[in-house]
Structure 1
Amino acid sequence: MPKPVIWITRTLSDATLARARRDYEVIWDPADTPGSADDIIAMSAKVDGMIPCHSEHFSADVVAQLDRRLKIVANHSVGVDHCDLPALRAKGITVTNTPGVLSDATAELAMMLMLGAARHAVEGDRTVRSGAWDFWSPAFLVGKQVTGARLGIVGMGGVGRAFARKARGFDMEIHYHNRSRLSPKDEADAIYHDNLDDLLEVSDFLSLHCPATPDTTGLLNAKRLAQMPKGCVVVNTARGALVDEDALLAAIKSGHVGAAGLDCFVTEPGGNPAFAQHENIMMMPHAGSGTVTTRNAMGFKALDNLDAFFRGDQPPDQL
């Protein structure tokens, strides 16, 4: 019996590629460039399944042109805002994601960004690296202390809860807003706010961990930033669409927001060049899940979903 043919759109981990080649006929381009709409449409007539990343966009227009041969899109991501799920389902295409395996890696990066933004890591690194460190003063690079501060978390899914666990190591007071209140076990003495505005008012630090949806696009806008304490620190390792970037820049310039740590942007790749003018904004290129352990786990989860589908079972992470 011939093996199913799959398209892997980007360069996944060596272990993932090796396993995929063992079990499937794999189409993969080592040039590692994002798949365009035309690529996706053309490839749909050649493969039975795809493993795309968030860099490939399955809009309703693209989905309408997909060949009937394509039966499953096994995303190498947790977020699926790049997919028009109703359109894919209407086309009879199964869609899966990779939940539960990247929470710790993303939470680690959020912690790094929070600490780095609060303690002038960008400016400090540049000062030493450039050879400009030729003085010291008690007033030099005085930052915002994390230990004991109030942390607001928007979205208490897997990543949000992992971040809360790590923040407790700094004795932070955890506050959160979520679509629904967590169980007492998962809440672990965090303080629930059913209203986002109430959360913002007590957030010395704010970390975003919710998905990008029509309801959350532009969630952190000028009005909401103004509700936060002066000198607050904003961290976003979720999706760039959650933040009104012009509003955040204005709040940084005014000093109302003291610093920011960003791993995602409205425009990706590339980010927002205006942010680069401010050394109190620490940035990473959407690398939250970027550890060997996590990228292997994500790839294996995508393959687990494909394996289940092609043997006639429901994939464990079907959406």
Structure 2
Amino acid sequence: MAKAKILVTRKWPEAVERRLSRDYDATLNSDDTPMTTEEIGAALDAYDAVCPTVSDRLPGAIFTGGHRAKILGNFGVGFNHIDIAAAQGAGLTVTNTPHVLTDCTADCAITLMLMLARRAGEGERELRAGRWTGWRPTHMMGTRLRGKTLGIVGMGRIGIATARRAQAAFGMRVVYYNLVDVPAEALDGLDATRLDTIEAVLEAADVVSLHVPGGGDNTHLMNAERLALIGPAGMLVNTARGDVVDQSALISALEGGRLGGAGLDVYEGEPAVPDALIARDDVVLLPHLGSATTETREDMGNMVADNLDAFFAGKPVPNPVG
């Protein structure tokens, strides 16, 4: 029996590519050149499966129906880059890779908090540029996290993991907003207070960490009015999706002194990052590193492979979207 023909749109960890090449007629992206939306659309008619990543764009216009491909094996937990309704309407199963990103993304959120609080990025830039003149009592003073209030917007797995780290390591008080009730067992051992609105969390928190899906009603969830509620001494951390934050409003809030700082791992229109953010010392910028560990990226790729294996064996996929 002929192997299913699959397309992997970006370069994946070598161990995963070996597995896919063993089990499928796999076309890999060895030089990691991003594919255009048009190329991915054409691939739907040339392959049995297409495996995109969060850097790809799959709008509704490419899902015209009658495609050879019957499954999208998405490499990532987020899927706002795919028009899910259009894909499913065209007869495609869509899968993602939940759970395996939790710890690394929470670690990344804590990294951003620490870098902001201790002005670590600013300090490294000063030293590397040869501007450091030595220790002095008032040089580059930041703030400590111990005793501060962390506000979590989106208390899912990653939000909970971030809160646990912040509370265990720094003794931070935790408040949160979540659209639906969080099961008590998920919060076991965590001292966290649910507030009724996002606004209440922003007003109560010294540091706000975002952990909600992108797209839909969450687009520009953090607008000018909400950013102002965090306050001139407050900090915003985003390891979720770039479109959750209105970047123009964020720049305005920072320039106007209405927000104390921001730590960002994701951006609207990636990989473009506004010069106005790059120029600021009160902003920490990472290049979408949330899940960027060897272990996690291999786990993600193997989860995609597990979904493909189940699909082509005629079994329910382990991680369906929708």
Q: Under TM normalisation by the shorter chain, which class is it?
A: over 0.9
Q: Say which SS state the counterpart of residue 81 (structure 1) adopts.
A: coil
Q: Does 1:39 align with 2:39?
A: yes
Q: Does 1:285 align with 2:284?
A: no
Under a length normalisation based on structure 2, what TM-score does the superposition of the two structures give? 0.96
Q: Does 1:112 align with 2:114?
A: no
- Residue by residue over 1:16-43, the C-alpha shift from the partner in whole angstroms, topping out at 9 and shown as x without a partner, is 1011011000011212122212211221
Once the two structures are superposed, the pairs formed by residues 73-84 of structure 1 within 5 Å of their partners are 73-84=72-83
State the shift of 1:167 in Å.
0.8
C-alpha distance in 2, partners of 1:52/1:167?
33
- Residue by residue over 1:103-122, the C-alpha shift from the partner in whole angstroms, topping out at 9 and shown as x without a partner, is 11111111111110111112
Q: Say which SS state the counterpart of residue 50 (structure 2) adopts.
A: strand
**Does the CA-based 8 Å contact 1:203-1:229 persist in structure 2?**
no
- Residue by residue over 1:106-160, the C-alpha shift from the partner in whole angstroms, topping out at 9 and shown as x without a partner, is 1111111111011111210011112211143322111121111000011111211
1:276 is aligned to 278
2:306 is aligned to 304
- Residue by residue over 1:245-283, the C-alpha shift from the partner in whole angstroms, topping out at 9 and shown as x without a partner, is 122112212333211110011121122221011011110
Q: Which runs of 5+ in 2 are unaligned?
A: none
Q: Say which SS state the counterpart of residue 61 (structure 1) adopts.
A: helix
1:85 is aligned to 84
2:138 is aligned to 139
Under a length normalisation based on structure 1, what TM-score does the superposition of the two structures give? 0.97
2:22 is aligned to 22
State the shift of 1:67 in Å.
5.1
C-alpha distance in 2, partners of 1:237/1:68?
34
**Does the CA-based 8 Å contact 1:181-1:192 persist in structure 2?**
no
Q: Does 1:209 align with 2:208?
A: no
C-alpha distance in 2, partners of 1:37/1:227?
38
Amino acid at match of 1:193: L
- Residue by residue over 1:175-231, the C-alpha shift from the partner in whole angstroms, topping out at 9 and shown as x without a partner, is 111111212232322110121111111010000010013211111111111212331
Q: Say which SS state the counterpart of residue 95 (structure 1) adopts.
A: strand
Q: Does 1:164 align with 2:163?
A: yes
C-alpha distance in 2, partners of 1:284/1:306?
32
Q: Say which SS state the counterpart of residue 231 (structure 1) adopts.
A: strand
Identify which range, 135-144 or 15-24, moves more after superposition: 135-144
C-alpha distance in 1, partners of 2:143/2:244?
24
C-alpha distance in 2, partners of 1:91/1:247?
37
Amino acid at match of 1:176: Y
Amino acid at match of 2:30: P
One of 226, 245, 248 as aligned partner of 2:247: 245
Q: Say which SS state the counterpart of residue 218 (structure 2) adopts.
A: coil
1:257 is aligned to 259
Identify which range, 294-303 or 216-225, moves more after superposition: 216-225
Q: Which runs of 5+ in 1 are unaligned?
A: none
Amino acid at match of 2:70: K
Amino acid at match of 2:139: F
- Residue by residue over 1:268-301, the C-alpha shift from the partner in whole angstroms, topping out at 9 and shown as x without a partner, is 1122221011011110111110000000000000
Q: In percent, how many aligned pairs have the same letter?
A: 40
C-alpha distance in 2, partners of 1:284/1:230?
22
Q: In angstroms, what is the RMSD of aligned CA positions?
A: 1.2
Amino acid at match of 1:118: A
Q: How many residues align?
A: 318
**Does the CA-based 8 Å contact 1:202-1:229 persist in structure 2?**
no
Identify which range, 184-193 or 238-247, moves more after superposition: 184-193
Identify which range, 136-145 or 19-28, moves more after superposition: 136-145
1:218 is aligned to 220
- Residue by residue over 1:63-106, the C-alpha shift from the partner in whole angstroms, topping out at 9 and shown as x without a partner, is 12x65211100100100001111111111100000000001111
